[in-house]
Amino acid sequence: MRTICFYFQVHQPYRLKPYRFFDIGEDHDYYDSFGNKNIMRKVAEKCYLPMNALLLELIEQHQGKFKVCFSISGTALDQFEQYAPDVLESFQKLVETGHVELLNETYTHALCALKSKEEFHDMVKKHQKRIKELFDGYTPTVFRNTELIYSDTIGEMVAELGYKAILTEGAKHILGWKSPNYVYVNAIEPKLKVLLKNFRLSDDIAFRFSERSWADWPLTTEKFVDWINQIPPEEEVINLFMDYETFGEHQWAESGIFDFMRHLPEAVMKYSNYTFSTPSEVAENIPPVGKIHVPTPISWADEERDLTAWLGNDLQDEAFDRLYELEELVNASDDPDIHRDWKYLQTSDHFYYMCTKFFADGDIHTYFSPYENPYEAFINYMNVLSDFMLRLKNVKVESKS
């Protein structure tokens, strides 16, 4: 069995509004509702709605032989309900076909796996409950952590929650001479299968598709199928993992990205011996070749494939540490607004905006950030966090009285 596994990440954060020092203690509404709604509707029209319609057409055309999977963050699901119910309905129709798998993740696309096992478990269970509510009782069996962040110990935590597989990056410094085109198992808990992204083929679609300076531009379905046919026959699975916003948002419709996807399934089925599978099918049908050792966390971000997109500089570490110092106080509160904001403030994007990298990776960070610079992002976040801390202290005082 040789198969292709398509995984798409769907995520939108609750972006913070400009929050000044003088707002602290006065304004407890932190979110840029106007901006979040506008961005959601823009991405819905450019990506979610046309691409979901295309996938539904392909699944029906190929009678279920074409399959994909999604991981949809809780913050994206919440905004679908608020601003784009038509998008939520289109995802529901895809899942109803029985040929689209949903994955579990942390509810707010958070980095809690790096800081708090208790909060991580709570986030995962909250996301699982949300999926079940919105998708007719659906229960995911495969996990993907925020930004594919993974280590041996994170895998162990995921295995404890009962998942049979996890997705992560096929990072070169972890694989060495090994290929990402096999199934591996967690080094601590071998019952957890580990599926690794083939970053070269994935990034050919996600990042290089419209890059005219790329030696292989333009990317055609014939060229792509020729590449996968050159992969040694004993390598059984090609994991193509990417942001869903690749289609229509990062790679505009004018680039031909929709046409590429429209013709890819037929080209694969006609001119190769590959099928399409969901992650749970890969985990079920392809035997693992051995353990994959990941002692320190990896991710799918930037050239280093590490955590430096979100953590590591003084701004990020200060904000991250101050946030999680509040965990005990939050858990002592029964205020639903406190718990909602605590979850939303953990979203990894807030720390991503504080990244001070330069050159190519820095350009990517600038593209996604609503701030002029990382320092503005840090100040805005810390102003919000200061107000949140005041609210926590007031809740504690009120509970004592």
Tell me which residues are annotated as active site: 147
Going by the DSSP 8-state scheme, the letter that residue 251 receives in this structure is: B
By DSSP bridging, strand 165-169 and strand 183-186 are unpaired
Residue 352: burial class (beta carbons within 10 Å; 0-12, 13-18, 19+)? buried
Cβ–Cβ < 8 Å for 197, 180: yes
Burial label, 362 (beta-carbon count in 10 A; 0-12, 13-18, 19+): middle
Q: Where are the alpha helices (DSSP H) in 276-358?
A: 279-285, 314-324, 327-332, 336-345, 349-352
**Residue 80 exposed, middle or buried by CB count within 10 Å (0-12, 13-18, 19+):** buried
For 61, residues 6+ apart whose C-beta sits below 8 A from its C-beta are none
Question: Is 19 strand, coil or helix?
Answer: coil
Strand partners, 298: 150
CA dihedral 296, 70, 302, 358 (to 10 degrees): -130
